[in-house]
Structures are given as C-alpha cells and as structure tokens.
Amino acid sequence: MKKIVILMALTLNFPAFALLGFGDDDASKGKEKTAKDCEIPLFAKAIGHEDKWLLHNGCPPRKDIEKENKEEK
C-alpha cells in the first residue's frame, strides 16, 4: 500500500510541476541575441516571412533592429 501511495504522489506531482512552470523554460529568456543570431535567412526572405522568423527565434522585431542600426551610425 505504501508503494502505491508513493507512486500516486509522484505521478500527480509531475503534471503540477509541468503546469506551474518549475522547469528551465526561463533560462533562455535572459540570453541576449547577437546580430548574427538574428540574421534572417534567405528562405525566410524568399517567402516573405521575415517577421515570423524573428518572432519564432526570439529576436526583436525589425522595427527595433532598424532603430538600433540608426543609433549606431
């Protein structure tokens, strides 16, 4: 009986950890993307999905990138 209780406790705790976000999901949010990481590949440009590619890869939108480029000059 004790083994069943332990098994049930572990089984029920796993979804709680997954749903409440106790994993390493936030680890990648703090990393800064370099210009090379956010360079839009040719296939994304060819099909017109530049903005979607940037969003999917965690890069800032093109408007922000263009502002940064103007400030650097």
Comparing C-alpha atoms, which of 31, 38, 36 is closest to residue 64? 38
Please provide the average confidence, as pLDDT, over all residues in the chain.
79
pTM of the predicted model over 0.75 = no
| DSSP secondary structure, 3-25, as one string | HHHHHHHHHHHHHHHHHHT-SSG
Residue 60 contacts by C-beta under 8 Å, 6 or more apart in sequence?
Answer: 33, 38, 54
- Residue 8 lies inside a defined structural domain of this protein: no
Q: Specify whether the CB–CB gap between 52 and 41 falls below 8 A.
A: no
Rounded CA-CA distance 56/20 in Å is: 23
- Residue 16 lies inside a defined structural domain of this protein: no
Is residue 12 scored above 60 in pLDDT? yes
In which domain, by residue range, is 59 found?
Answer: 33-73
Split into its structural domains, the chain has a count of: 1
Q: Would you state the pLDDT for residue 48?
A: 92
Percent share of the chain, pLDDT over 90 = 30
**At 17, is the pLDDT very low, low, confident or very high (cuts 50, 70, 90)?**
confident
Is residue 46 scored above 90 in pLDDT? yes
